Amino acid sequence: MPTYIPRQMKPVRERVEAKLERELVLELEQYCEYLESDRDYVIAQALSVVFRKDKAFAEWQQAHPMPPAGSEAGAGTNAPKPRSPR
């Protein structure tokens, strides 16, 4: 028997680590306080706005489609790129 209320969707989350300038971190903390929201939410929303509004990125994305999640082609794309010798 189907339920009246659908199951809650739980997005897959991945940990991302970034180093930011101290002043930017302080401003982020203030913005989080202002919105009464946590860092994860504020950063995710800010990135969503940038990705949605950047028309040049949207065009670039059309030429560089993202591989399906879990595919071998996308594996390791978050790995650091090797540095070139100086």
Residue 37: how many CB atoms within 10 A of its CB? 13
Q: Is the pLDDT of residue 83 over 70?
A: no
pLDDT of residue 32: 97
d(C-alpha 59, C-alpha 73), whole Å? 21
The CA distances from residue 32 to 11, 14, 35, 85, in Å, are 21, 20, 5, 40
Tell me the whole-structure pTM to 2 decimals: 0.67
Q: Which pLDDT belongs to residue 5? A: 85
The three-state secondary structure class of 25 is helix
Residue pLDDT, tens place only, 49-79: 999 999 999 999 999 998 887 765 544 455 4
Least Cα distance to 78 among 21, 38, 24, 18 occurs for 18
Six-digit token string for 70: 């879990």
